[in-house]
Amino acid sequence: MPHFNLRLDTSAPDDGESFYWTRDANSTFLGALGPSLGSLGPVPTLNIDLVRIAVGVYAADRSVPRKFGGSDWNQREISLTLPVANAAHWASRERELAGMLDFLSGDSWSMTFVDAPPAEEDVALTPVAASRVVLFSGGADSAIGALKSRFNLYEQEHHILVSHYSASHIAPIQKALEARLATFEPHRSQSHEVFHLARRAVRLDGTEFDSEPSSRSRSFLFLALGLANAAIHGVDLWIPENGFASINPPLDPGRRGSLSTRTTHPAFLTAFNALLSGSGMVGQIRNPFESWTKGEMVAWAMQQLGQDQASSYLSASNSCSSTGQRSFGVPLRVHCGVCFGCVLRRSSFAAAGLHDRTEYASPRASVELARWLERVSVMSAVRDFVATGVRPRDLMALSLPHDYKLADALDLTSRGIAELGEYVR
């Protein structure tokens, strides 16, 4: 079992694979954020601990390659030693936390916590009071969530958008989308926290880390950063995503969880909120679109903004999960058009009747690109999925919380499948 240590300084002897999170050049991590989160303001201690845990988990996830093939690809065992301010508290929650991570990434996690003194950092002044914090990934769902949050603010109220990126092409998309959003309802205000926090490719001695690209735990870090911001203001955190993708029905029996990651799965959010409330931490995580399809979200945005503004705003978002197009000279700002994120996006625009101005990779550009697009396309699997549909017994296998009614899940998935069907037929 691979074991990793997260360390806050380089003075301790290294007794295994370690990641160093420091404020100087001797850091395993890119980004300006320090391990005490001082630049954010007066973050509560347990939220600082949660971000440290998430940083360690994310770095370890990136450092253990998966075995692709069959069902082995998502069955890793990973252990961590993590420095926190309250080791006793987190030790009492270790099984609860590990279970959440197991569900999120499909792996088996175990954690040991050690008391660590807070790293010395200047603490920023408390920013303007916020009524809400919204995760803002740059995708269409987060763009609509930020729009809904802004429109729900009273005049002169403020909300905070929180973004995280590891791939450099995402940050300009997030910033440009936020600038567009700021032009709507000008009497409401917002700020935008953008975090670049990622493990470096090499260790401090210059040797390369093993690298795993899937990184399903990145969303756990994203949530922890959002919660740190929300805790300063004592408010809830929104993570907007359509409920159809959140439920995460598989495209076929051999592709469990293939529609998306489980970041907004009702079971994961229920478990995370139980951890927060059981720890006495302020705020909860909310998905304002847990009962909506993506097409319904797009239709709502069009009703608020009108056809032209909604088309311009949402087409500037990014839903593509692929990076392979760059091997054929296609910029990463151009969507592949054939991954599930792209197919769901295209079907939702079509279902709402919204003009899609998104730039998609064209198979006419080259024979090589056309072959790659055909090879990675999910269109055939989606057509089969639409033809088969989802049965109640399929939903019963998706680990939905006990209070999530099966009839509601069936209705939501039926509406989502209908939107896909209109596009892929």
User: What contacts 237, CB < 8 A, 6 or more positions away?
Assistant: 133, 134, 135, 223, 226, 227, 229, 230, 283, 284, 285, 286
Q: Region 170-190: what's the mean pLDDT?
A: 93
**Mean pLDDT within 219-246:** 96
pLDDT of residue 1: 86
pLDDT at 259: 44
DSSP code at position 16: S
pLDDT tens string 244-271: 999 988 776 555 444 456 899 999 999 9
Label residue 72 by pLDDT band (50, 70, 90): very low
In sequence order, which residues have a C-beta less than 8 Å from that of residue 413 and are 6 or more positions away?
244, 247, 249, 390, 395
What integer is the mean pLDDT of 193-219? Answer: 91
Beta-sheet pairing, 108-115 with 285-286: unpaired
* Residues in CB range of 95: below 8 A, 6 or more apart: none
Per-chain mean pLDDT for the chain: 91
- Answer yes or no: is pLDDT of 142 > 90: yes
Contact 159, 153 (CB under 8 A): yes
CA distance 20 to 22: 6
231-234's contacts with Cβ under 8 Å and 24+ in sequence apart are 231/43, 231/44, 231/47, 231/281, 231/282, 231/283, 232/40, 232/41, 232/42, 232/43, 232/44, 232/126, 232/127, 233/129, 233/130, 233/131, 233/133, 233/160, 234/282, 234/283
Question: Looking at 62-66, 344-348, 392-396, which range is the least confident one?
Answer: 392-396
Q: What is the pLDDT of residue 252?
A: 63
| pLDDT band at residue 119 using 50, 70 and 90 as cut-offs | confident
Q: pLDDT confidence of 342, banded at 50, 70, 90?
A: very high
Gyration radius of the chain over CA positions = 21
- Mean pLDDT of the 350-371 span: 96
Q: Tell me, what's the pLDDT at 214?
A: 80
Which amino acid, 336?
Answer: C
pLDDT attached to residue 248: 84
Please report, for the chain, the start and end positions of each structural domain, with discontinuous segments joined by +: 3-115, 132-199+218-286, 305-424
CA distances to 82, 87, 104, 126, 139 from 170, in Å: 29, 35, 23, 28, 10
Q: Which of 13-17, 83-87, 280-284, 389-393 has the lowest mean pLDDT?
A: 13-17
Q: 368-410 pLDDT, tens per residue?
A: 999 999 999 999 999 999 999 988 888 888 889 999 999 999 9
**Architecture in CATH of 132-199+218-286:** 3-Layer(aba) Sandwich (3.40)
Kindly report whether the global pTM for this prediction surpasses the value 0.75: yes
| Contact by Cβ (8 Å): 140, 352 | no
381-398 burial, b if ≥16 CB within 10 A, otherwise e?
Answer: bbeebbeeebeeebbeeb
What does the block give as tokens for 205? 């001695």
Indicate whether 114 pLDDT > 70: yes
* DSSP H/E element including 190: strand 189-196
Which of 68-77, 200-209, 378-387 comes out lowest in average pLDDT?
68-77
More confident residue, 339 or 128: 339
Q: Which two tokens stand for residue 248?
A: 């995460």
Q: Are 72 and 262 in contact (CB under 8 A)?
A: no
Q: To the nearest whole percent, how much of the chain has pLDDT over 70?
A: 95
pLDDT for 130 beyond 80: yes
pLDDT at residue 23, as a whole number: 87
Rounded average pLDDT over 42-61 = 96
To 10 degrees, what angle do helices 307-315 and 294-305 make?
130
* pLDDT band with cut points at 50, 70 and 90 for residue 25: confident
Give the pLDDT confidence score for residue 395 in this predicted structure.
87
Residue 71 — pLDDT band, cuts 50, 70, 90? very low
Of the two residues 3 and 73, the one the predictor is more confident about is 3
What pLDDT score does 73 carry? 55
What pLDDT does 118 receive? 74
pLDDT at 128 over 90: no
